[in-house]
Amino acid sequence: MPFPISRPRRLRATPGLLALVRETTLSPRDLILPLFFHAAIDAPRPVASMPGVSQLPVKAAASTAKEAARRGLGGVILFGLPKTKDPRGSSGLDPDGPVPRAVAEMKSAAPQLVVMTDVCVDEYTDHGHCGILHERKDGTTEVDNDATLEVLAEMAVLHARAGADVVAPSDMMDGRVGRIRRALDESSFSSIAILSYAVKYASAFYGPFREAADCAPQFGDRSGYQMDPANAREALREARLDEDEGADMLMVKPALAYLDVIRAVRADTTLPLFAYNVSGEYAMLKAAAAAGMIDYTRAMMEVLVSIRRAGADGILTYHAVEAAEALGG
């Protein structure tokens, strides 16, 4: 029916009508807060490129867990900054490292809180790449896929042993979901879930994170293992492979420049789907707000709803606490 029979504005006339016909919801339960635990600091250390985000000492884990639980967040995901780094990322396998210690403290302070860990060696390697390096015959260097799988499997078991509910591999090695599943099952952690960073692009929007997690690659870039931003069909291939290897949940990352990819993966899988609203996306809103260019809270809520509308069940986001507050939590 054309105008004047049809008048879409009828349903926008009052807040009650708007709420009644709203298609997409957002609640604190949908939000997962990333946290950076640093082994060598005693007080929170602000991350300059991410206003409002700090690296945290492990002793802040319990109070942080309680706050996340009180705000009703869907969960937290932990990253670690170790005291030492080497070419193999050995400090990532230390049971006394910042992630295992923070996981244990968070789970005892707030047992109901869903605690996830990022499984990747880039925070622990001195070269900053997401795997073990291998020198090719021509003298150039690449990340050795299969050697890296062994370290990832060991790291996932370590995090599970510390009490993590979910392990989330972010390295983009082929076959890592299957290798981690096997390692968890062989170590009696068959009930620990895997959230796979299945569709992870080589993105400029990770810039601020590399300061937060101190993991910028010391040479080259990550385009030999992370995906080309130009590819969407390949996203479905990556997602299907990880689902076949036993992933319990999938992730698309980043979120905003990839809303079409979120939609496409959503249509192709029945697994829960997450999107990572990454550091650069967060920093852009903070910078625009600081310059007086946008209403920060409105822009943040619009961004988060857009990611849900594209098809994500949940969102990993540095806005999680501010958004929960804005939602009345």
Task: Write out the two tokens for 7.
Answer: 């008048």
**Please, what is the minimum distance in Å from the beta carbon of residue 279 to ligand PBG?**
3
Residue indicated by tokens 């050795």: 144
Among 102, 115, 120, 262, binds ligand PBG (CB under 6 A): 120
Nearer CB in complex with ligand PBG: 78/110: 78
Binding of ligand PBG by 122 (CB under 6 A)? yes
Among 37, 209, 225, 274, binds ligand PBG (CB under 6 A): 209
Binding of ligand PBG by 118 (CB under 6 A)? yes
Q: Return the beta strands (E) in the chain as ranges.
A: 31-38, 45-46, 54-57, 75-81, 115-119, 133-135, 141-143, 166-169, 193-200, 249-253, 273-277, 314-317
Torsion of CA 52, 58, 64, 69, to 10 degrees: 130
Binding of ligand PBG by 279 (CB under 6 A)? yes
Helix residue spans in 89-175 (DSSP H):
98-109, 145-162
Amino acid at 266: R
**Please, what is the minimum distance in Å from the beta carbon of residue 161 to ligand PBG?**
20
Nearer CB in complex with ligand PBG: 85/222: 222
Stretch 220-249 residues interacting with ligand PBG (CB under 6 A)? 222
Nearer CB in complex with ligand PBG: 122/165: 122
H-helix or E-strand spanning residue 242: helix 233-245
Examine the residue annotation and report whether 107 is marked as an active-site residue of this protein. no
Number of residues that bind ligand PBG (CB under 6 A): 10
Residue 133 burial by Cβ neighbours in a 10 Å radius (0-12, 13-18, 19+)? middle
Examine the residue annotation and report whether 253 is marked as an active-site residue of this protein. yes
**Residues that bind ligand PBG in the complex, under the rule CB under 6 A:** 118, 120, 122, 130, 170, 206, 209, 222, 278-279
Which active-site residues does the annotation give?
200, 253
